[in-house]
Structure 1
């Protein structure tokens, strides 16, 4: 009987120690997690070039790097944001701008306006070492409840190639840890307190969490850190095929239709205009009426190969350099120039 009591005590003590250890781990990394608030403007698409509607959004992110000026988050949280505000653990806040973004992988790198010297940066772990069944936990801002913690396992790992993103590998962890609106962009930690994923989305038929959540792996996030992701240009664009060009009377067999321009973005300061009239051609929905990009510096947008060259060229843009873009606006060809800040 004494042995049974001793065994029960040992098990109880072990469980208690484990719980305390996890609580300590959460406390250690929690202050690296931030809330992200965004303001975005979109044209209503009813035929008025000035008919914009404003909306607010919210997500999560995590402070990384020794300089304490960078935040990792999800691309869809900030891609269309005209203003980004980062709120820290103690309620203090500062603005931020997008430095790198990869919408296919759904990862973005923000740069803070002020150094976050009072808060710890989270270390980046090796997602390649994670196995299905490994324990993880997520901290974020679900439904506005800042610094909420959920715990689960790696339920699966999905790897795919994307022809739309220059054949770069995409990797996502599947998890059963609870994810809700506002968790997007928040960190997924391993049990060493290292970031191994950035929360991306849920698969749901009800609109709520159903046990299927997804996070971009830290290896994809590191691609952004190594500047393999795209520089944020601030546009939503449609690559036009030769048939599309004929429909819109474009004087070449390829071009880029500017659907939307984010306020305070490089494209905005360049003077590009987005669309303002919703249309549907076949199965493709577009926002027509905006600028058509014909050429960017020496790159003419007349083929899919040149359009990919354009995306790569954006990544080489340098501060202080002047860039020229040829557009079709209202039936007239115009030339714009812009000096990158």
Structure 2
């Protein structure tokens, strides 16, 4: 009998301590948006160029009343057109302002004159401790505004390219396809992360989800906003570079350029022909980037760090030059570095 009473107290204490997120959900969900991404592809088929559009969706969070939205870079980075659905307000076109692929974070803005969107402040992610409850609101498999709950399981850091450390928050809250770019909240309803990816062997959630920390997001996208290049590319190994008559040991094969991106303003061109070379899938026919400024592509990790530092140190308004190989000829293109100023208020 005493054992039964003891177990009763254990279960009672569990249910008493379990947090009810219904009020927080009702308050915060208004700021969570669905992002529809359309990407135009051009391919060479039967001696003709055929155009088609691929679509995907992700999630985002409104962070100011004028329509600034945090999301994941892979949701929007190569998109030609973005449509955002805001609860109670309808759909809006949007544009990418800043993106940093290494940390999988991006900042986009609704194209509208409205200034009364329900926004959430970015919190200090350091204040949430490992073991605390966290929750996610997103669009897993297209099921919009779904809430999942878990714990902050760990913090994972790695070196970034000219942007300091990259920090991801690990969580066992269920994350699946469609959650990308959505908010990670602590138990107080504070925004502490942007959902990025999962580690999985089955293709679904296995309790290993990762979100870019809010402190890193503020540093990279708000305080020192990064250029949105809007590129998909392949780093050419030495053997492949030689086969493509590249006049150096490596280069970046440009496969896709998003409309209105910085790469589009520069004049870079993507490829059209799907191919497999030495077991590697790539899209041929586009430009091959040889150098950014005076930094030539070598394929080494240190090379990309030098390139990132160069781009970071170019003054706003100054021209950035790009040396490319196009149709067997080396040409040089350039464009002014964007003058990005991000204001949350």
**Shorter-chain TM-score range:** 0.7 to 0.9
Aligned residue among 257, 260, 275 for 2:256? 260
Residue number in structure 2 paired with 1:217:
213
Distance 1:46 1:309, change over 3 A: farther
Q: SS at 1:109's partner residue?
A: strand
Under a length normalisation based on structure 1, what TM-score does the superposition of the two structures give? Answer: 0.82
Aligned residue among 112, 115, 139 for 1:114? 112
Q: CA deviation at 1:225?
A: 2.8
Q: 1:100-131: CA deviations, max 9, x gaps?
A: 21212111111222255333211212222222
Q: Are the counterparts in 2 of residues 75 and 101 from structure 1 also a CA contact under 8 Å? A: yes
Q: CA deviation at 1:78?
A: 0.7
Q: Following the alignment from structure 1 to structure 2, what is the Cα–Cα distance between the partners of residues 260 and 94?
A: 25
Residue number in structure 1 paired with 2:283:
287
Q: CA deviation at 1:293?
A: 2.4
Residue number in structure 1 paired with 2:328:
331
Q: CA deviation at 1:323?
A: 4.9
Residue number in structure 2 paired with 1:146:
144
Q: CA deviation at 1:87?
A: 1.2
Q: Are the counterparts in 1 of residues 142 and 178 from structure 2 also a CA contact under 8 Å? A: yes
List aligned pairs for 1:135-284, cutoff 5 A. Answer: 135-161=133-159, 165-166=161-162, 168-228=164-224, 230-240=226-236, 243-284=239-280
Q: CA deviation at 1:181?
A: 1.9
* Larger displacement relative to structure 2 (118-127 or 188-197): 118-127
Q: CA deviation at 1:62?
A: 0.4
Q: Are the counterparts in 1 of residues 162 and 309 from structure 2 also a CA contact under 8 Å? A: no
Q: Are the counterparts in 2 of residues 109 and 224 from structure 1 also a CA contact under 8 Å? A: no
Residue number in structure 1 paired with 2:71:
73
Residue number in structure 2 paired with 1:104:
102
Mind listing any 5+ residue stretches in structure 1 that lack a counterpart? none
List aligned pairs for 1:115-134, cutoff 5 A. Answer: 117-134=115-132
Distance 1:179 1:302, change over 3 A: closer
Q: SS at 1:125's partner residue?
A: coil
Q: SS at 1:155's partner residue?
A: strand
Under a length normalisation based on structure 2, what TM-score does the superposition of the two structures give? Answer: 0.81
Q: Following the alignment from structure 1 to structure 2, what is the Cα–Cα distance between the partners of residues 48 and 32?
A: 48
Aligned residue among 301, 305, 309 for 2:296? 301
Q: Following the alignment from structure 1 to structure 2, what is the Cα–Cα distance between the partners of residues 315 and 121?
A: 29
